[in-house]
Amino acid sequence: MTALFPNTDLRLIDEIATTAGTPFYLYDASVLRGRLDALRAALPQVDFFYSLKSNPNLSVTRVLHGHGAGCEVSSLLELETSLQAGATPERILMVGPGKSETELVRAIELGIKAIVVESAHELTQIDALARQQGRVQNIALRVNPDFHAGGAKLNMSGRPTQFGIDQSELPDVLKQAESCAHLQLCGLHAYMGTRILTHETVVANVGNILNLATEVVSSLKAPLDFVDVGGGFGIPYYDGETELDLDALGQAVTPLVQSFGATHPKTRVVIELGRYLSGPSGQFVTRVQQTKSSKGEHFAVCDGGSNVHVAAAGQGFLRKNFPIRLLRDGKAEIDDEAAQPWTLTGPLCTPQDVIGKSVLMATPQVGDLISIGQSGAYGPTASPVNFLGFGAPAEVMIDGTELRLVRSRDTVEARLAVQQPSDLRLAAHANPSTSHAPAALADLYSSATGNGLEGTPFSDPCLERLTGLQTLFRETGARLDRDPESWTALWENPTVRALTTIGVPEKFNGFPLRDSGLGISDCPYGLHVAMVERLARFDANCILSLPGPSLSGGAVLATGTDAQIARFFDGYRFGPQGTFFAVTEPDAGSDASNGRSTLGLKDGKLVLNGVKTLVGGIARADIGLFFAHIEETGRMGLVMIAPSDAPDCVKIERLGTNGLRGADLCQMTLTDFPVTQDMILGSGGRSLRDGFMAINGVFERNRPMVAAMALGSGRGLIELMLEDPTRLPAYQDLLASHTALLVQLVKVIRAQENRRPKVQDISKVKMQAVSFVDQVVRRITDQDPMRFLQDAELRRRCRDVKAFEYMEGTSNIHLLNAYRSYTAGVDQ
């Protein structure tokens, strides 16, 4: 029998109540992982998906996905939650009888594992939307079978229902699906019912569904990728209920799965579970506010009731009690002699607000805590949290020794803020020239893959899969403005991790692209530039905050020994590694030949001295390169240093900036930093010219990245403005300019790939990109000054793009080289 309450220190619950307030939910991550482990042990050949509807908390989802579960979603928020939790599109299923067009479009953009189709009409709708995007979308058909589940507390199939396609209609729908050019049938789905506690019922369901799948597959031209046999595993809530016998279930279901697999080796059996995974992990804690007796019945009025835990209130089924205990001073009060029946209520003005009826317990006192077990599923998000204005409760997670607030309590201010009135522009009153703005906007967006961009990196399908990072980048970008350490939220995402380590040699890369869900195993230079442009649409701040190899990694690969390459890149086997490329000095700019940093002898030993100003997270960097004059030879040298090797010789100060704070501008001062010969790249014997020639390609390949960031930032600002489609006419010319500049950038990329880069062309497109984003900012402030003043994100991102002007500053040695090349008429 599974414990009805997680094994949590009761004193800790008391401390959480004091710190976070009540009511709150407390989830135990170890229980979540343990439930999934037990399922895998019993059913090793089954692929498990977590149904977010039971508890869509981001941290709960992250724990289960991080432990190997896929995600089954039923709304746009659940879809975005799955992505933020780290799920790749290939591990997401979307279900639901009434999916909106917005939800379907997003799912198709991402290319999720499958959209589960619930009707013939939805089949036609998804095909049309996929055709508009030029995609082929995987689908599964949900079947409402002729059989039903006898042991389910709530039957959802085998009867008249809004869910799925009747089995009798399945042959016609299969023919329809075959005729849809933009759909690929890859799965079958059936969900019989919920809260099943007898393993015999589950076994019968699985057998019936697999038999149905065998019948369906016989009429198909290709095998299915998966058969989703539903789930519905229950957990015991009430007296007399027993835990589902997982061992017996596994012993009976495994032969069915093996037999099906023997005849359908390419088809995986999937089970989706929500309550079974999340329910036992959680407990609900509320505080007693008042006690009273009325007409012979004892009442304890608590600060949380059916408004935040409707399942415990029993609405929708027979009123019974969840597991309940009284907590006082960090202990569970158990006093059988003094125990009396108590009715536990919430604070609502309705007699239905009862979360425990006739609960036998010691006499509660004001301030005591009431804990309700088995509460990790269908809690706050399934409850009327806004009734009477109390709002959603706090949610807390314990994970080993870590304790985190994973959802803040609703505040009065936030709930009032979303009710402030704003103008509603009705379609009937729209200007005729803009009444079809959404369609026109879609046409303009799709034009980015035309006008010379077809077949280029900017039309690569994997770029659309980056869209799932948009919310993460926008939210993290705002946090970076306040705290440069917020970059860690980006690193937690597996796709971002893989993007961060592009350029790391394969043998050192612990986070390869093939594990990212982007559908690629390597990233050519042109695609890398295109990815930077796409991500900059979301927030360029985030790109600059990521701890990748950047310029320094390219320089090490160009000039370093095998040992130096290994030393520089080895950290990427296990986690993030910040790097830096220290060239710019406060008085000399980025022309290294004018720098004053020196590598010389002191007491017979090599030491490095100098001051550098640089971006890229130097305050958190692990290793990097430092340009300096070698006093003995008078030549320039690149020295690989790890600040942690001699912390007393390094001083790093963060500098204030007016934009792109994620880049984390810092000043590094080295004082007698000890150096050995094996830290000097290229032995330090090259001339300045030879040294620059050795890494010139690294610089020239990086500069189009800056152009891409500028172009993406400008496009992102336009897209922010076009959240109101009526603004389209004011920005249509800028969208066209953006596309035209991408065409020019493609030419630069191709020249790089053909090893014939022209410095003047690189500088030209970079300066044009900077000019473009400046035009966008001016247009916004001229055309929409009120939106600019009212929208904090818009103001921040407009401010950030001004920093690109610094990146093309006249002190930049590459701009000087480009000027020299242009005036001499010589390609470099």
DSSP, collapsed to helix, strand or coil, labels residue 691 as: helix
- Find the mean pLDDT for residues 534-561: 85
- Yes or no: say if 453 and 530 are a contact pair by the CB < 8 Å rule: no
Q: What is the pLDDT of residue 349?
A: 92
| Least confident among 125-129, 192-196, 674-678 | 192-196
List domains and CATH numbers for the chain: 88-273 (3.20.20.10), 281-412 (2.40.37.10), 437-546+693-828 (no CATH), 553-686 (2.40.110.10)
Q: Is the pLDDT of residue 806 over 50?
A: no
Task: Give the C-alpha separation, 601 to 483, whole Å.
Answer: 39
- Residue 590 makes CB contacts below 8 A (sequence gap 6+) with 583, 584, 811, 812, 813
- How much of the chain, in percent, has pLDDT values that exceed 70? 86
- Yes or no: say if 587 and 617 are a contact pair by the CB < 8 Å rule: no
Task: Give the C-alpha separation, 453 to 457, whole Å.
Answer: 8
Please spell the DSSP secondary structure of 56-125, one letter per residue. Answer: --HHHHHHHHHTT-EEEESSHHHHHHHHHTT--GGGEEE--TT--HHHHHHHHHHT-SEEEE-SHHHHHH
Q: What is the pLDDT of residue 591?
A: 61
Supply φ then ψ for residue 78, to 5 degrees. Answer: -65, -35
Please spell the DSSP secondary structure of 600-651, one letter per residue. Answer: EEETTEEEEEEEEEE-S-GGGEEEEEEEEEETTTS-EEEEEE-GGGSGGGEE
Q: What is the pLDDT of residue 688?
A: 43
Report pLDDT digits (tens) over 450-460: 466 888 899 88
Q: How confident is the model at residue 40 (pLDDT cuts 50, 70, 90)?
A: very high
State yes or no: is 349 an active-site residue: yes
Q: Is the pLDDT of residue 299 over 80?
A: yes
Q: Is the pLDDT of residue 683 over 70?
A: no
- Residue 354 makes CB contacts below 8 A (sequence gap 6+) with 305, 306, 313, 314, 319, 343, 344, 345, 346
Q: Identity (one letter) of the amino acid at 528? A: H
| pTM of model > 0.85 | no
Report pLDDT digits (tens) over 388-427: 999 999 999 999 999 999 999 998 888 887 788 876 666 5
DSSP, collapsed to helix, strand or coil, labels residue 9 as: coil
Beta bridge partners of 630: 599
Structure tokens at 823: 């005036």
- Find the mean pLDDT for residues 277-286: 97
Active-site residue identified among 180, 302, 349, 666? 349
| Least confident among 20-24, 94-98, 583-587 | 583-587
- Find the mean pLDDT for residues 184-197: 90
**Count of helix runs (H) and strand runs (E) in the chain:** 27, 29
- Residue 365: which of 329, 321, 393 has the closest Cα? 329
Q: What is the pLDDT of residue 812?
A: 38
> Measured in whole angstroms, how far is the alpha carbon of residue 162 from the centre of its chain?
32
Task: Give the C-alpha separation, 637 to 685, whole Å.
Answer: 8
- Residue 216: which of 183, 252, 157, 173 has the closest Cα? 173
Report pLDDT digits (tens) over 696-754: 666 677 778 889 999 999 999 999 999 888 888 888 889 989 999 999 999 988 888 77
| Angle at CA of residue 668, ends 667 and 673, nearest 5° | 170
Structure tokens at 345: 């209520």
Tracing tokens 């959680």 back to the chain, one arrives at 282
Structure tokens at 91: 């591990």
- Find the mean pLDDT for residues 804-808: 49
Supply φ then ψ for residue 405, to 5 degrees. Answer: -80, 115
Q: How confident is the model at residue 334 (pLDDT cuts 50, 70, 90)?
A: low
Higher-pLDDT residue of 776 and 330 is: 776
DSSP, collapsed to helix, strand or coil, labels residue 653 as: strand
Beta bridge partners of 325: 371
Q: Identity (one letter) of the amino acid at 82? A: S
**Helices (H), ranges, 361-510:** 412-417, 437-446, 462-465, 470-480, 488-491, 494-500
Q: How confident is the model at residue 148 (pLDDT cuts 50, 70, 90)?
A: low
Task: Give the C-alpha separation, 452 to 450, whole Å.
Answer: 5
Q: How confident is the model at residue 42 (pLDDT cuts 50, 70, 90)?
A: very high
How many C-alpha atoms does 465 have within 13 Å on its Cβ side? 23
Neighbour tally for 218: CB within 10 Å:
7
Q: How confident is the model at residue 445 (pLDDT cuts 50, 70, 90)?
A: very low
- Yes or no: say if 340 and 19 are a contact pair by the CB < 8 Å rule: no
Name the strand (E) or helix (H) holding 343. strand 340-345
Using CB atoms within 10 Å of the CB of residue 332, give its burial: 0 to 12 exposed, 13 to 18 middle, 19+ buried: middle
Q: Is the pLDDT of residue 635 over 60?
A: yes
Q: How confident is the model at residue 273 (pLDDT cuts 50, 70, 90)?
A: very high
> Measured in whole angstroms, how far is the alpha carbon of residue 362 from the centre of its chain?
46
Average confidence score pLDDT of the chain: 85
Beta bridge partners of 613: 667
Task: Give the C-alpha separation, 631 to 382, whole Å.
Answer: 71
| Angle at CA of residue 156, ends 123 and 378, nearest 5° | 100
Q: Is the pLDDT of residue 508 over 50?
A: yes
Report pLDDT digits (tens) over 739-774: 999 999 999 888 887 777 777 788 888 889 988 999
Relative orientation angle of helices 246-263 and 199-217, to the nearest 10 degrees: 10
Name the strand (E) or helix (H) holding 720. helix 688-721
Q: How confident is the model at residue 816 (pLDDT cuts 50, 70, 90)?
A: very low
DSSP 8-class letter at 757: -
DSSP, collapsed to helix, strand or coil, labels residue 337 as: coil
Q: Is the pLDDT of residue 821 over 60?
A: no
Q: What is the pLDDT of residue 658?
A: 63
Name the strand (E) or helix (H) holding 19. helix 10-20
Report pLDDT digits (tens) over 573-626: 888 888 888 888 877 666 666 778 999 999 999 999 999 887 666 677 889 899
